[in-house]
Amino acid sequence: MMVLMTDPNSLWQNYLLDFLSAANYECFFPDLELVPMSLGDVLYESGDEVRYAYFPTTCIVSLVYVMESGAPAEIAVVGDDGMIGISLFMGGGAMPNRAVVRSAGYAYRLRAPLLMQEFSRFGGYCNGVLHDLLLRYTQALLTQIAQTAACNRHHFVDQQLCRWLLLSLDRLHSNELVTTHELIANMLGVRRESITEAAGKLQQAKLISCRRGHITVLDRPGLEARACECYQVIKTESDRLLPSPQPASLVSHIPLQKCGLVKSELLSLRPEQMR
């Protein structure tokens, strides 16, 4: 059975993989596995050896530093814009932080030696495209990490919340986030009461709507206007380094047996995902 990928805006696609040409993708794809990512899954703990690189498609993964006290703080967020495991080609080989799924979905998984083989072989079947793309993505990610640190130090909680929501929306295909005030507080390293108060202000301004376990963004332009400059700095740098791929670069089909899906998972897919 085949899962056809005829929609150029398919939710199953990852930006870095989409950027490859069809010919390169066909060579690259047999080594990829499409795996489900559940909310709360810890892909790596700090110090773990990186055995796989993950390319999220419909999930969001938080990169989190955990202090000796156990207190966490999110330093970056990765979705369909990037990958987990840059330490592989940066020379570290181990994760410097925790990587945890904070929005369920799917990701492509690639064994570390295969990624390194193609990254190191500049003239490999990706003809250097993957090498350059991953380095540019790394710079964009470092910008996000640095700007997040500055934002957490200098800006009010409601501004931090706006940045957090906007970065999440950029990596989702919906205006609704499945999350809680407690989870956001843990990610931002602040008290839950502070997030509840900040979310209340945004709700009163009719920018968002909150119900148990869900936040719906009602007015994105208004939310951007409330955010500090940090969100725009991150987005501008990402757009500069990672221009949109051409639709022609997308693959036209995906062999299901190579996607890591089993029958029970196949039956749970929505009809539009079975094209």
Is the pLDDT at 122 greater than 60? The verdict is no
pLDDT top residue among 117 and 134: 134
Same domain, 124 and 259: yes
pLDDT at 79 (0 to 100): 95
Least confident among 5-14, 114-123, 260-269? 260-269
pLDDT at 24 (0 to 100): 64
Same domain, 208 and 259: no
Q: Total domain count for the chain?
A: 2
Alpha-carbon distance of 69 to 72, in angstroms, equals 9
Element (H, E) at 224: helix 220-226
* Domain membership flag for residue 132: yes
In which band, very low, low, confident or very high, does the pLDDT at 61 lie, cut at 50, 70 and 90? Answer: very high
Q: Which of 184, 164, 165, 186 is nearest to 174 (CA)?
A: 165
Please write down the long-range contacts of 218-222, taking CB distance under 8 Å and 24 or more positions apart: 218/175, 220/166, 220/169, 220/175
Query: Taking all residues of the chain, what is their mean pLDDT, rounded to a whole number?
Result: 82
Same domain, 80 and 183: no
CB 61 within 8 A of CB 54: yes
Is the pLDDT at 253 greater than 60? The verdict is no
Same domain, 48 and 97: yes
| CATH label of the domain that carries residue 116 | 2.60.120.10
* Domain membership flag for residue 93: yes
Same domain, 80 and 186: no
* Domain membership flag for residue 243: no
Q: What is the pLDDT of residues 182-223, one digit of tens each?
A: 999 999 999 999 999 999 999 999 999 999 889 999 999 999
Query: Partners of 216 in the beta sheet?
Result: 176, 209
**pTM of the predicted model as reported, rounded to 2 decimal places:** 0.82
Same domain, 162 and 76: no
Q: 29 is written with which tokens?
A: 């794809």
Residues whose CB is less than 8 angstroms from the CB of residue 97 and which lie 6 or more positions away in sequence, other chains included: 46, 63, 64, 65, 66, 75
Segments forming the whole domain that contains residue 91: 1-142+253-269
